[in-house]
Amino acid sequence: MTLIVAKFGGTSVASPERIKNVAKRLARMKENGDKVVAVVSAMGKTTDELMGLANAVNTNPPARELDRLLSTGEQVSMTLLALSLESMGLRAMSFTGRQAGIETNGTHNKARIVKVHNERILNALEADIIPVVAGFQGIDANGDITTLGRGGSDTTAVAVAWGIGADVCEIYSDVDGVYTTDPRIAPRARKLNEISYDDMLELSSAGSGVLQSRAVEFAKKWGVVIHSRSAFSDAPGTYIKEDPKMEEAVITGIAHDTSEIKVTIRHVPDAVGVAAKVFSALAANMVNMDMIIQNTSRDGATDISFTCPASDLARARETLDVIIPEIGADSVDVEEDIAKISLVGTGMKSSPGVSALAFRTLGENNINIMAISTSPIRLSMVIDSAETQRAVQLLHTAFDLDSDSIFEETQLSAEEIAAKMAKGR
């Protein structure tokens, strides 16, 4: 017997038909003799629709009331899944975040789980009932409903898995696992059987959208094994765990991210505290800087560049319009058509040649690298976004990540691959 937490995203419960399919899958687990707890997101685009209604009546909705509103989405999907299980002759019971004992801090809209009281879920399992838990929500110490932010249902699933000591936390989605890179742009991408928490975290934060970073962090901290797999097939997906018995590859995967822009401040005086002043002003105005590049000084001045999400541009300009005259810099350039390509792999720690091979591969193919940043297990390079696909394919081949079954893989049409996968969004 395996104790499983199975989480189903919005796409998997978007219609009564799909909810019935989820119920059938849970029924098969029960038939196999496993015990299972389901965690569900809201149906399809429900959360966006509720947010749209809130914004229509209040352009700046107070967080506490907003959380009460948003939490209804999962209350609908959890009840429908419980009803569907009951109609198949199984015993099921739905649990709101409060009833499932998900206690969070009081940071509405992006609360963090601080405690999990899973007695009621364990009691239900003991009584051979399938608990169906609302993802994305909890309660704070005041008893107010909180929500965990975008993708919070993954975090709920990992928290419940930890709370009840589940053997595995299965995350079902429209993606069938973690790939070495986005198969939509590199048909030779390979599905990984296993990946370490650290590599998964770097891939997620570098733009691979398979799993919520916070859920992976939580899983790493508490040692919960995640199995990322497809809601539409029975094929195994990718296990995310502490010590995967991996092929000893230097690089685990390549992520790309075209959602950032590059801002360059020209001719910044090279004096103590100037850069700090710029960056603290940007941070204070909620500009999330990712990579920062300070060029070598010339004539007592330098150019400073940083990348940030395109959505932060207005706030960045607002801040720089004030700061630039203050510090005596010249002007601001913005490049919007950039892409960040990231090589990720725990194996990089013991392999010094990674940067050299990456730079040579792109250089020989006339792809200019505008900026570089590294961590012990990641190398990120900013390039022209028009070169994204070519750069990913070249690096994928250079680092020996290409699928062995080239023939088979290349038989797939672009549509088939896109349908099979929706990674990296």
The answer to the question of residue 233 lying near a copy of itself (CB under 8 A) is no
State in angstroms the smallest separation of the CB of 13 from a copy of itself.
10
- Name the residue nearer to a copy of itself (CB basis): 80 or 210: 80
Nearer to a copy of itself, 144 or 402 (CB): 144
User: How big is the site for a copy of itself, counted in residues (CB under 8 A)?
Assistant: 30
CB 52 → a copy of itself: shortest distance, Å?
Answer: 9
> Which residues fall within 8 angstroms of residue 56, CB to CB, at 6 or more apart?
none
> Which region, left, alpha or beta, applies to residue 328 given φ > 0 means left and ψ of -120 to 50 means alpha?
left
C-alpha 255/C-alpha 257 separation (Å) is: 7
Asked whether position 128 contacts a copy of itself by CB under 8 A, the answer is no
> Among the candidate windows 46-54, 199-207, 229-237, 327-335, which touches a copy of itself by CB under 8 A?
46-54
Q: Among residues 21 and 193, whose Cβ is nearest to a copy of itself? A: 21
Nearer to a copy of itself, 64 or 390 (CB): 64
- Distance (Å, whole) CA 286 – CA 319: 10
How far is the CA of 43 from the CAs of 9, 46, 72, 90, 419, in angstroms?
A: 8, 6, 11, 22, 20
Q: Which is nearer to a copy of itself, 30 or 68 (CB)?
A: 68
Using CB under 8 A as the binding rule, whether residue 226 contacts a copy of itself is answered as: no
Q: What tokens appear for 3 in the block?
A: 């104790």
| Residue 58 within binding range of a copy of itself, rule CB under 8 A | yes
What is the C-alpha to C-alpha distance for residues 115 and 216, in angstroms, rounded to an integer?
17
Within 71-110, the residues that bind a copy of itself by CB under 8 A are 72, 75-76, 79-84, 86-87, 94
**Candidate ranges 59-67, 196-204, 367-375, 409-417; the one touching a copy of itself (CB under 8 A):** 59-67
The CB-based long-range contact list for 45-54 (8 Å cut-off, 24+ gap) reads: 45/10, 46/10, 46/73, 46/76, 46/77, 47/10, 47/73, 47/136
- Contact status: 251 vs a copy of itself (CB under 8 A): no
What sign results for the dihedral spanned by CA atoms 294, 360, 203, 240? negative
213 binds a copy of itself (CB under 8 A): no
User: Is position 23 an interface residue for a copy of itself (rule: CB under 8 A)?
Assistant: yes
Question: Closer to a copy of itself at the Cβ: 72 or 213?
Answer: 72
Q: How far apart are CA 53 and CA 69, in angstroms?
A: 10
Among residues 31, 60, 272, 296, the one that binds a copy of itself under rule CB under 8 A:
60
| Smallest separation (angstroms) from a copy of itself to the CB of 172 | 18
Q: Which of 4, 5, 6, 19 binds a copy of itself (CB under 8 A)?
A: 19
Could you tell me the two tokens for 301?
């001045």
Nearer to a copy of itself by Cβ, of 86 and 335: the residue is 86
Residue 59 interacts with a copy of itself (CB under 8 A)? yes
- Going 221 to 248 to 234 to 403, the CA torsion angle's sign is positive
Among 28, 32, 62, 233, binds a copy of itself (CB under 8 A): 62
Q: Which is nearer to a copy of itself, 66 or 240 (CB)?
A: 66
Query: Taking CB under 8 A as the rule, does residue 61 contact a copy of itself?
Result: yes
Subset of 325-384 contacting a copy of itself (CB under 8 A): none
Taking the complex as a whole, the smallest distance from the CB of residue 72 to a copy of itself amounts, in Å, to 4
239/401 Cα distance (integer angstroms): 18
Stretch that binds a copy of itself, among 49-57, 221-229, 264-272, 319-327 (CB under 8 A): 49-57
Residue 167 is a binding residue for a copy of itself (CB under 8 A): no
> In the set 69, 122, 293, 310, which binds a copy of itself (CB under 8 A)?
69
46 versus 380: smaller Cβ distance to a copy of itself: 46
Q: Where does this chain bind a copy of itself (CB under 8 A)?
A: 16, 19-20, 23, 50, 53-54, 56-62, 65-66, 68-69, 72, 75-76, 79-84, 86-87, 94
